[in-house]
């Protein structure tokens, strides 16, 4: 009498190696794509936060929030946002009240409200101004140019970059004060 042969209920080594190989190939394809996706989402989030802060300052200026404050003996006239144009130092932006339009958070005629740090590896730059002023008089958007003169802005693009990518997310601000995403 022959004994019944046991039935093997498992995978062979070859079958396991094929499955592991397929998983390695799929993972190798997905990881760079996922990294690109997370970089893009980080930039998008920073873009939306900055745009929201700019609109908030514009609304504060239009409603006259803070207009009753005296800064160094002068009434507040502008809500301002500034950031550094120096590489390595352009990872934050500050917004504050100012009575003279001086683009400095340390000026006695300014009252800093908040400094915002951008997400890791995100930097900010602009096509022109590094200080935008929102007038409490009429809500217009002004800039302090290189000569130190406060003037209406030309159309300005604020760019946010990820340090490991060449793509940017842009915010456009036009003469009329419209603030919108460019991409």
- Tens-digit pLDDT profile for residues 122-158: 998 876 668 888 989 888 888 876 566 777 888 888 8
C-alpha dihedral (181, 138, 104, 182), degrees to nearest 10: 10
Percent over 70 (pLDDT), the chain: 92
Confidence at residue 154, expressed as pLDDT on a 0 to 100 scale = 81
Q: Within a domain: residue 100?
A: yes
What is the DSSP annotation of 140-181?
-EEEE-TTS-EEEPPPEEEEEEETT-S-EEEEEE-TT--EEE
Half-sphere exposure of 4 toward its Cβ, with a 13 Å CA cutoff? 3
- For residue 56, being part of any structural domain is answered with yes
Model pLDDT for residues 23-45, shown as the tens digit of each residue = 999 988 888 888 888 899 999 99
Range of the domain at 67: 13-181
Q: For the chain, what is the mean pLDDT?
A: 85
Q: Per the domain annotation, does 144 fall within a domain?
A: yes
Residue 7 lies in a domain: no
Q: Any idea what the Cα angle at residue 126 is, between residues 93 and 36, rounded to 5°?
A: 85
Q: Residues of the chain with pLDDT > 90: what percent? A: 27
Nearest Cα neighbor of 90 from 28, 9, 168 is 168
The phi and psi torsions of 23 (rounded to 5 degrees) equal: -65, -40
Residue 53 in any domain: the answer is yes
Domain harbouring 105, CATH code: 3.55.40.10
Residue 55, pLDDT score:
93
Pairwise CA distance, residues 34 & 54, whole Å: 30
Residue tagged 């970059």 (tokens):
161
The domain total for the chain is 1
Say which residue, 121 or 104, is predicted with more confidence: 121
């Amino acid at each position: 009498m022959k004994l019944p042969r046991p039935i093997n209920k498992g995978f062979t080594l070859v079958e396991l190696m094929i499955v592991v190989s397929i998983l390695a190939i799929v993972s190798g394809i997905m990881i760079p794509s996922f990294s690109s996706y997370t970089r893009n989402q980080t930039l998008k989030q920073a873009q939306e936060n900055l745009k929201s802060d700019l609109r908030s300052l514009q609304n504060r200026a239009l409603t006259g929030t803070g207009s009753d404050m005296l800064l160094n003996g002068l009434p507040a006239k502008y809500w301002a946002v500034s950031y550094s144009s120096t590489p390595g130092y352009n990872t934050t932006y500050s917004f504050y009240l100012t009575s003279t339009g001086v683009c400095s958070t340390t000026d006695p005629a300014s009252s800093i409200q908040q400094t915002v740090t951008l997400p890791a590896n995100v930097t900010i730059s602009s096509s022109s101004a590094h200080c935008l002023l929102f007038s409490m008089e009429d809500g217009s958007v002004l800039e302090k140019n290189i000569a130190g003169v406060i003037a209406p802005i030309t159309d300005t693009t604020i760019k946010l970059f990820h340090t490991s990518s060449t793509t940017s997310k842009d915010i456009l601000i036009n003469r009329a004060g419209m603030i919108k995403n460019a991409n």
